[in-house]
Structures are given as structure tokens and as C-alpha cells.
Amino acid sequence: MKRFQSLKLKIFLPLLGILLVVFLTSSLVVIDRESKSVKESLIETATSYSSLSITSVIQNFVFYNESGFYKFTEVIDNLMKLNDNLLTIQIVNVNGKILFDSEEIQTGKYDERTYGERYLENTTLIQRAGDPTYSLFLDDETRRVDIIQPYFEDWGRHDYSVRYIFSLASLDTMTNEMIVTILLNTGIFIIVSFLLIFFLFNYFISSPIGELTKGVRRMSKGTLGYEVTIKSKDEIGELATAFNTMSNDLKISRDNLEEYSKNLEKLVAARTKELEEKTRRLEQINQDLTIAREELRGLNINLEGRVQERTREVEKLLKQKDEFINQLGHDLKNPLGPLINLIPLLEDKEADPAKKEMLTVLHRNADYMKNLVVKTLELAMLNSPNTRFSIEPLHLSEEIKQIINNKKILFDENHVKITSNIDPSLWIKADRLRFEELLTNIFENSVKYCQEECRITINAQLTNEYVTISITDTGIGMTQEEIGRVFDEFYKADSARHDIQNTGLGMSICRRIVEKHGGTIWVESPGPGKGTTVFFTFPVARAS
């Protein structure tokens, strides 16, 4: 409530001030005007009085002077009583000599004989006494009105003037009374209007606001739907109506919200339950999955174990196979030695042509069997993943020279002229035994398909990290079709001519050897009858 009081103070104190200023100002204006008007009326009254009473005064005075005794003083007294404001009546002649002064009567001093001659106070007054026109002089200081009224007798002679001095003291009294009255009225008016405004303010604004405040407080404490009782149809009324509407709307909203909230809680509870259910199911699934994964892992381990076991078995079998082939190789190769060496001896010594012919057939077939056995086993060895190579740097020109030397018999018997143009600075990385085998196979082919004049030329060239070696012969050459099939196993250049010298495995062995060293091998030929060149590459070894 203090706030509203302060609101009231804020409104009513300035209002009161304004009212006071307005009313005081207007009062002062009114007072000023009124006092002027009163003053004027007083002066008018005094003027008319003086003009009316002059004859009576002078005639009585003259009569008194001529007849001796007459109650002139009583006349003056009566005249004085006629006007409360009249202070003094003086009778003066045209020379300014005071013939009579009412004050002297009042003080008991009037006696012409004893009092002697007297004149007016100053020359201005004396002049005025002699002036045949009426004159009025207002002295605001002494609050007096000095009127000098000339008297003309029946014949128009001007001997006397009467001087009236009126007091304006009554004017002040009247003014004061007026001020008091006006202020009183104003005060009452202000208080009444103030109270009226206060009441109206209180009734129409303050208390509705208080009511509204109460409503707002209640609302803020949660009592929604509270309605304020303001019946007026002004703006406050509208505000109250709006407030009530808002309050009701809020109540409805809150009720709806509560309803919604309750529903939501139910919903959330339901959802939570659902979620818990799902989570539980998920956990169950998870557990199942974990178990399944465990089982799977177990199975996997089992499987891996079995795979490893099988791999080991296979490896073991492969090893056994290799071992078997090697053993077989040994066991097959050993008996061939005596056959291929002793049969030619007998053949040479035999004089009987029939027997010699038999030994020649034996010799040829023993050689063919030797070739077949050796090359088949070699190819099997090269095809086995377990075959290991012993790679070492080889001095290419020296190595080739050595191989040519070892095969000297082969070349000599077949009248083959062999030339090696290898740069002595070249070294390759190779397995020595396999390299020799490779070259031997190529040489044997060259010798086999030799024409009348047989030459073999060996060249080598370094390209990047590889040495390309070429072996060119002057043999029967090859067609493109033959070149395409030269590395096929059991392929023979001339299958029509059943050549028992040829197993058809030599070039396959060559390709396996070169590829096992990371190189490539290919064959070129200008055409049938124009010789053949076999190219192959080996990784270079930098001489240290």
C-alpha cells in the first residue's frame, strides 16, 4: 500500500501545488482589482460628499460669523458623522488662511479669539485654496485624500474654499477582510476539490489497481482463475476484464498443462517401461550374441586348428612327394649310368652288323630314357614350392666359358662353332647349378636343330637391374605359331618327325628356371630356316 501512497503523493503533491499557485494567483489578481475599485468608489463618495456638503458648511459658517452664536460646531459634528472616513474639515479663504479647522473642535481648542491666525501648510495648498476649480490630491503614503472644494456665493463670488481630508484606512480594512474571505474560500475550494479528486482517483484508479495487484499477487502465488471485481466500464474496467480473461485463460492453460503433464508423465512412464523392456531384451540379445560369438570363436579356433592340421598334412604330403621324386630320381638315374655308357662301348666293339644294329637301338633308347627321366624329374623339382635355390653372384663370362668347356664334347661331335661375346665386367645373381642347366638345355636345343653350318653366338647386355642374355643359333628357325608354343610342356618343334632325341621338356625347364630367378624368357626367329634366338634376363649383381 505504501507504493500506492507514494503514487498518490507523486500525483497529488504536484496537483496540490498547481492548485495553490493557480488559486493564489487568481485571488491576488481579484484582490488587487477589487481594492482598486473600492478605492475608486471611496474617492467618488468623498468627492460627491465634499461637493454636496460645501454649501451647508460655508452658509452655516457665514451665518455663525454674522449672527454670533450658532451651533456651527454641532453642524460640523453632524457632517463629520455622516461620513466615517472624513477626518478633517477646514475652511480656508482664497489667501490660504485657515478660518476653521474641525480638529480644533475635537480637541476643544476652537476659539477664534485665542487661537490667532493660521495658514495652510504650503504654497501649493494656498494656491489651490485660491483656485476656483475643484482639486483632489491623493496621498498614498498617509492613505489620505485631500480635496479642496471652492465655494461660490449666489453672486458668483469666490471667497472661501473648504478642504476635506478623508482617510483611506477603511480601504485597508476592507482589503484585508476581502483577502481573508478569498483565501478562506480558495482554501475550502482547494481542499474540497482535492478531496474530490483524491476520492475519484482512489475510487476509479487506486483501488482498482489495488484490486488488480491483489489479483496479480494471487496469480503469482498460483491462484489462477481469480477474478477481480471491478464493475466500471472505463479503461481500468477493460484492463480488469482483460485481466480476468487472462486469469481464466491461464487457469485453463494451466489445467490443460497439468492434464498434459499428467498424461506426459504417464506417457514417459510407459515409454520408460517400454525402453527398460527393450534394454532388457537387448541385453539378452547381447548375451546371446556373446555366447554365439564365443561358440563361433571356439569353432573358429577349432577350424583354424583343423586348417592348420590339414595344411601341415598337405605340406607333409608335398614334402613326402618331393622326397619321393628325389628318391625316385636317385633310384632311376643310378641304373642309367651303366646303360648309357656301357652300351656305346659294346656297340663300338661289335663287328657283327646284326648285333651292332641291336646295340645301336639299345643305345638310342637308353639315351632317350635318360633324357626323359632326367628332365621329367627336373621339371617336377622346379614345380615344387619347396625347391630352394642357392643364389650367388656369378661372373657371367667366366661361368659361360666353364659351361661351354664342360659341353665341349657335345659341340665338337656336332661340329658346332660357339662364340661368346660377354662383357667380362658383367655379374649376375643366380643359382650356379640351375644356370648351367638352363644353358645346357638351350645349347642342346641349338645343336639338335642344327643345319649344315652350325654356329652359336652368345651376347649379353645390361638394362637397368637386369642382364639380358641372348643365345643365337643358325638352326632351322621357327614359325610364329611355333614360337607361341615353344614353352608348352612336351611340345616338339617337329612333331611329325618323331624325334626320340627330344623330350619336349627343355624349354619348359628353361622358363621355370628363369622365372624362379625373377627374370623373363622369350624366343625370336626371323622365320623357318633362318635360325633362332633365345633371350632371357637375370638380375644383375654389382661387383664388389
**Is residue 342 involved in binding other proteins (CB under 8 A)?**
yes
> Which alpha helices (DSSP H) does 221-234 contain, by range?
none
d(CA 239, CA 360) in angstroms, rounded, equals 140
Q: Strand, helix or coil at 179?
A: helix
Distance in Å, CB of 340 to other proteins, minimum:
6
A 10 A CB-CB count for 326 gives 14
d(CA 125, CA 96) in angstroms, rounded, equals 7
Give the one residue of 107, 220, 405, 544 binding other proteins; rule: CB under 8 A: 405
Distance in Å, CB of 322 to other proteins, minimum:
8
**Is residue 372 involved in binding other proteins (CB under 8 A)?**
no
Near other proteins in 25-44, by CB under 8 A? none
Stretch that binds other proteins, among 253-261, 283-291, 303-311, 324-332 (CB under 8 A): 324-332
Stretch that binds other proteins, among 69-77, 182-190, 239-247, 389-397 (CB under 8 A): 389-397
d(CA 452, CA 444) in angstroms, rounded, equals 16
Closer Cβ to other proteins, 15 or 346, answer by number: 346
3-state secondary structure 282-343: HHHHHHHHHHHHHHHHHHHHHHHHHHHHHHHHHHHHHHHHHHHHHHHHHHHHHHHHHHHHHH
Burial code of 333-344, b = ≥16 C-beta within 10 A, e = fewer?
eeebeebbeebb
Distance in Å, CB of 316 to other proteins, minimum:
17
Stretch that binds other proteins, among 77-85, 252-260, 323-331, 510-518 (CB under 8 A): 323-331
Q: Strand, helix or coil at 454?
A: strand
CA distances from 65 to 69, 182, 284 (A): 8, 52, 155
Closer Cβ to other proteins, 145 or 382, answer by number: 382
For residue 315, give the C-alpha cell: 605340406
**Is residue 338 involved in binding other proteins (CB under 8 A)?**
yes
Closer Cβ to other proteins, 435 or 538, answer by number: 435
- Taking the alpha carbons at both ends of the chain, their separation in whole angstroms is 113
**Is residue 455 involved in binding other proteins (CB under 8 A)?**
no
**Is residue 402 involved in binding other proteins (CB under 8 A)?**
yes
Binding mask 406-425 for other proteins (x = CB under 8 A): xxxx----------------
Distance in Å, CB of 403 to other proteins, minimum:
11
d(CA 353, CA 350) in angstroms, rounded, equals 8
Sign of the torsion angle spanned by Cα atoms 394, 399, 403, 406: negative
**Is residue 518 involved in binding other proteins (CB under 8 A)?**
no
Stretch that binds other proteins, among 57-65, 80-88, 162-170, 339-347 (CB under 8 A): 339-347
Closer Cβ to other proteins, 337 or 518, answer by number: 337
Total of chain residues touching other proteins, rule CB under 8 A = 34
Distance in Å, CB of 310 to other proteins, minimum:
25
Binding mask 468-507 for other proteins (x = CB under 8 A): ----------------------------------------
Stretch that binds other proteins, among 427-435, 449-457, 500-508, 524-532 (CB under 8 A): 427-435
Distance in Å, CB of 365 to other proteins, minimum:
14
Place of cell 615353344: 486
Give the one residue of 336, 362, 372, 483 binding other proteins; rule: CB under 8 A: 336
A 10 A CB-CB count for 139 gives 11
Binding mask 270-309 for other proteins (x = CB under 8 A): ----------------------------------------
Distance in Å, CB of 359 to other proteins, minimum:
14
Distance in Å, CB of 294 to other proteins, minimum:
45
- Residues with Cβ within 8 Å of 114's Cβ and at least 6 positions away in sequence, in order, are none
**Is residue 317 involved in binding other proteins (CB under 8 A)?**
no
Identity at 397, one-letter amino acid code: S
Among candidate residues 463, 493, 465, 483, the one with its CA nearest the CA of residue 534: 483
Give the one residue of 188, 192, 433, 500 binding other proteins; rule: CB under 8 A: 433
Give the one residue of 341, 383, 425, 495 binding other proteins; rule: CB under 8 A: 341
Place of cell 480594512: 173
Burial code of 371-406, b = ≥16 C-beta within 10 A, e = fewer?
bbbbbbbbbbbbeeeeeeeebeebbbbebbeebbee
For residue 47, give the C-alpha cell: 468627492
Place of cell 636317385: 330
**Is residue 448 involved in binding other proteins (CB under 8 A)?**
no
Residues that bind other proteins (CB under 8 A): 322, 326, 329-330, 333-342, 345, 370, 374, 378, 381, 387-390, 392, 402, 405-409, 431-433, 437
